[in-house]
Structure 1
Amino acid sequence: CCLKNQGLSLLNESTWLCSKLLDYIKAKAGQIPETKQGIEVVKNGLDGQFVVEADMKVQGFKRGTESLRRSLQKMAAVLHEKSNLVTLESHSHCLEDESGQLNNQQLEDIIRS
């Protein structure tokens, strides 16, 4: 759980920083455009195609991070469910009567708790 939260936090922060850096680049590009053979060029040498590609990659990072978050949540739910089943099975072995049959009332009590 902690590792999942730390990993997602780092991915979210990295994506956020990339997004802010890209916004800064876009703002600077809008302030100091030059034309060179029909391609908009920022004085630092970045062209419009780079900005568009970088924007698409940042959006991809955001979608990927969200998809990873959902997958990790599903995995955690499955693991939790499996853990509950193992716990239930171990309790059922303790509740068998002399004939080896499980006491249904005791099993129902475990399921409710």
Structure 2
Amino acid sequence: MPQAVGVIQTLGFPAVLAAADAMVKGGRVTLVYYDLAERGEFLVAVRGPVSEVNLSVEKGLAAAESTPGGEVVSHYIVPNPPENVLAVLPVEYTEKVARFRNAAN
């Protein structure tokens, strides 16, 4: 099954928390990365089947934008990321997230 990576970057922590919550509840995805970007910006990344990541990011964007003071800085979806991208970026399934991974993804 083709996999995708979906990322949302927000200004402020409450918006990224709302986005992450909505993303994992909105589709069969696994949260694989979270970090502080810069200047008070945060980002969260999920992986899963392409159709589920699309739905998940849509739900995450809606949640982040409806958070008081929340602002989405950017977002993107990479369907079927090549091996060299997975080798360089921290979006691989790790042991830390393995127990939360849905069997379907």
TM range (shorter): under 0.3
TM-score with structure 1 length normalisation? Answer: 0.24
The TM-score normalised by the length of structure 2 is 0.25
Structure with more of its chain in helix, by fraction: 1
> Rg: which structure is higher?
1
The structure with the largest strand share of the pair is 2
